[in-house]
Amino acid sequence: MFISDDIIKRRLLIDGEGGNDDKRLNNLLKMFIRWTQSPVDEDSNMVYQRILSTISQCEYTLEKSVKVYQMNLEEQQNYETLNQRIENKIEEATLKITECKSELQQAKRIRKNRQEYDALAKVIHTHPDRQATTKQLQSLDEELKTFKDRKQKLEEKLDSRRKQFLVLITAIHELQAILDEDEKKAEIEEQKTEEMETS
Amino acid sequence: MQEQSLQSRQLYHMTIFTQCFSPCGKYVAAANNYGQIAIFSLVSALSPEANESSRLPIYCFKGCKEGAIYCLTSTDTFLISAGEGDICAWKWSDIHNKAPKIIWSLSLPKKGVFTNPEVNSIVVDKQEQATRLLAGGGDNDIHIWNMENGQLENTLQGHEDYVHSICLKNNGRECVSASEDGTVRIWDARSSSEAVHILEPHKTPMCGRPEMGKWVGCVAMDHGDDWLICGGGPKLSTWHLRSLTPTATFDTPGSCQNFVMYHEENVISGGMKPCVNHWYVNGDLKSQVPTTSSSIYNIAVNTVLDQLRVLSVVGNSCKIDVCTNFGYKAFSLKFVPS
């Protein structure tokens, strides 16, 4: 009657479900021994049937526990494969993350460069078109040329007029000189005639 | 009781002007208008068990005898601070051992008896041949010292009013400065002649905001040295340096930007509004992150360590906002001098 904790623990460990298996085996043994001892009559047949049913019950529990053990093994296998698959997926995902990170960096850099180009383009746009300015320069050059030509022509005209005036003025002076001489000659002759008259 | 009220009044009136990450990337140093420098540990502030006390400074010391500290920068071994006193260098190892002493100090050459110009911005230029320190401040000039022998190598003169901010260009060969006189000047750092280029944002109709003034408070160069971004009284704008023309403006109505930086294809700026602006380089606003300080003086991103990659913002309050995801503020460190 000294049922200690260890014995209870051991009993619970050994027994599968409920505490019946051990009791059933003990019962079976007792029944068998009683049956072998008892005389052959209708009661013993019943006991015999009862023994057979107890045996089949024990066999049934045995089969069940064997099947449960196999099922556990298979479940474990299943979980192992699942674990492995998940680990592989995690590795792939981390690789992808690092790739994406570097892509992100690249994209950020590209965006920054694009923004810088845009800013420069805006500044460039404020300045006038190169073609327009070259056209303006060309037209200005042409205008300059025509003005220069006109200036030259006018200068030449001025020169020739000046020469003509010079010729005219020298002719006038010469004429003036001749006329003065003539006047002087005429005066001298008058004086001479006056002197001749008075003497 | 009086002590407590004095301390709380000090906290209320504190302005943190600048900050700097340590060379290992695990600590951040911040300096305020009382001349104090506080060191915070990012590792403990970001850890899952962080609480109120891990957001306080792990160490705090007086970096400037009297006056404010306006700028901090760091080399591999030194933390360099400058403000209303001399430019002082402290060893990071001494600071971690809680016994900082001034290893060396440089002072601006005095021009008169009563002048005491402050230093507004310092930059370290690390080259193979020599490491140089450039400083710009109240005397309208930019001084360049050789850090190895402490000699004043060069002085760039030309600004007509004090210098707000300087930055380097072309691998340290050129220097860009923004000043109160409304110009951004690009200098050849080796020679002491006049500025190579002068940009006047306040004169262009695109950027000028006469109601805000002509001063330019912040300037930054992009990595490829093609673009310069500057802001202040005039609108924050990017300039294409080959043609010296402004290309895009960033609209901050009613707010002058005090700090700007390029970060990973975007622009981050902060100014007189209580928010950090993230922009695309063409002027479109990407996001605005609200901050505790109502004006922002400095923004820094910790690029040293990947797992401690944070954006930290300081301004005219005693709180330093730290963002792990740059889209929102994660928590604030509190500058409480112990």
Question: Quick check: A112 and B240 CB within 8 A?
Answer: no
Q: What is the mean pLDDT of residues B56-72?
A: 91
**What is the spatial distance between Cα A193 and Cα B317, in angstroms, rounded to a whole number?**
130
B105: domain CATH number is 2.130.10.10
Check if the beta carbon of residue B39 is closer than 8 Å to that of residue B60.
yes
Q: What share of chain A is helix, strand, coil (3-state, %, to 5)?
A: 90, 0, 10
Domain-embedded: residue B4: no
Of the candidates B243, B245, B281, the beta carbon closest to that of A112 is on: B281
Question: Quick check: B247 and A108 CB within 8 A?
Answer: no
Min CA distance, B20 vs chain A (Å)? 27
**A108: chain B residues, CB-CB within 8 Å:** 264-265
Question: Quick check: B247 and A122 CB within 8 A?
Answer: yes
Q: What share of chain B is helix, strand, coil (3-state, %, to 5)?
A: 10, 45, 45
- Apex CA B224: angle with CA A120 and CA B176, to 5°? 90
Contact of A111 with chain B, judged by CB distance below 8 Å, is answered with yes
Domain-embedded: residue B5: no
**What is the spatial distance between Cα B299 and Cα B320, in angstroms, rounded to a whole number?**
10
**A98: chain B residues, CB-CB within 8 Å:** none
Question: Quick check: B264 and A115 CB within 8 A?
Answer: no
Task: For residue A54, give the DSSP letter.
Answer: H
**What is the spatial distance between Cα B125 and Cα B173, in angstroms, rounded to a whole number?**
9
What ipTM score was computed for the predicted complex, to two decimals?
A: 0.71
Question: Quick check: A112 and B227 CB within 8 A?
Answer: no
**What is the spatial distance between Cα B224 and Cα B244, in angstroms, rounded to a whole number?**
15
Nearest CA in chain B to A110: B265
Domain-embedded: residue B35: yes
Identify the residue whose tokens are 């008169």. Answer: B112
The burial of B302, by beta-carbon neighbours within 10 Å (0-12 exposed, 13-18 middle, 19 or more buried), is given as: buried
Q: What is the mean pLDDT of residues B58-68?
A: 90
Interface of B with A in 249-288 (CB under 8 A): 264-266, 280-282
Interface of A with B in 120-139 (CB under 8 A): 120, 122-123
pTM, rounded to two decimals: 0.74
pLDDT of residue A138: 95
Task: For residue A112, give the DSSP letter.
Answer: H
| pLDDT per position as a tens digit, B153-207 | 999 999 999 999 999 998 889 999 999 999 999 999 888 888 999 999 999 998 9
Of the candidates B238, B264, B266, the beta carbon closest to that of A119 is on: B238
Which three-class secondary structure state does DSSP give residue B20? strand
Q: How many A×B Cβ pairs under 8 Å? A: 32
Total residue count of chain A as it appears in this document:
199
Residue B307 lies in domain: 13-334
Check if the beta carbon of residue B320 is closer than 8 Å to that of residue B297.
no
Min CA distance, B278 vs chain A (Å)? 14
Largest CA distance in chain A: 232
Domain-embedded: residue B40: yes
pLDDT band per the 50, 70, 90 thresholds, residue A15? low
What's the structural domain count of chain B? 1
Domain-embedded: residue B28: yes
Which three-class secondary structure state does DSSP give residue B263? strand
| pLDDT per position as a tens digit, B216-264 | 999 999 988 889 999 999 999 999 988 888 889 999 998 999 999 999 8
Identify the residue whose tokens are 């400074």. Answer: B57
Spatial neighbors of B337 by CB under 8 A, at least 6 apart, are: B10, B34, B36, B38, B57, B60
Contact of A33 with chain B, judged by CB distance below 8 Å, is answered with no
Domain-embedded: residue B242: yes
Task: For residue B76, give the DSSP letter.
Answer: S
Stated as kind and residue range, the H or E segment containing B61 is strand B59-62
Min CA distance, A140 vs chain B (Å)? 27
Domain-embedded: residue B1: no
